[in-house]
Amino acid sequence: MVKVFLILAGFVAAVSAQALAREEISGPVAAKILRVIDGDTLLVEAQPWPQQTMEVYVRIRGIDAPELKSKCDRIRRAGLDAQRALETLAAVSSNIQLTRISGDKYFGRIVADVMLSDGRSAASDLLLAGLVQGYDGGRKPHQICDTD
């Protein structure tokens, strides 16, 4: 009986994730930043309903940060710069608002606009600083590694 319940729960979660990927929740949803994962991803404690919280990974909509696990030293350093900048934003504004929330193609996280406590967009700040590139969810261009 327990196995049947777990299988059904997994199926419902998978179906819900697929539905969420197609639909968008306008928000805002209040959230607290728990940890910066990299230059474009956060772990947050979101409060989608009163007295209910959930931890969820949030990919910041509209940007792409250099990869921390790149084989290229220059790209890794740029990824660390983006991560540190996002950590600085998080330190100043740990309470945020998530809007335009949808499922991510990997279903382990959501994609959302992240608004800081002063109303600024985290994505816009990182783009203006030149630490990330604009990203629309399509295929990423291949980056060539210069010899360091």
Tell me the CATH number at 39: 2.40.50.90
Instruction: Establish whether the linkage from the previous residue to 28 is cis, with ω within 30° of 0.
Output: yes
The reported pLDDT for the residue numbered 59 is 95
Instruction: Quickly state the pLDDT bin for 106 (edges 50, 70, 90).
Output: low
What b/e sequence results for 48-80 when a residue is b if at least 16 CB atoms lie within 10 Å of its CB, and e otherwise? Answer: eeeeeeeebbbbbbbbbbbbbeeebeebbebbe
142 within some domain: no
Residues of the domain holding 96: 2-134
Q: Which residues pair with 103 in a beta bridge?
A: 110
The count of domains in the chain is: 1
148 within some domain: no
Instruction: Quickly state the pLDDT bin for 137 (edges 50, 70, 90).
Output: confident
pTM of the prediction? 0.79
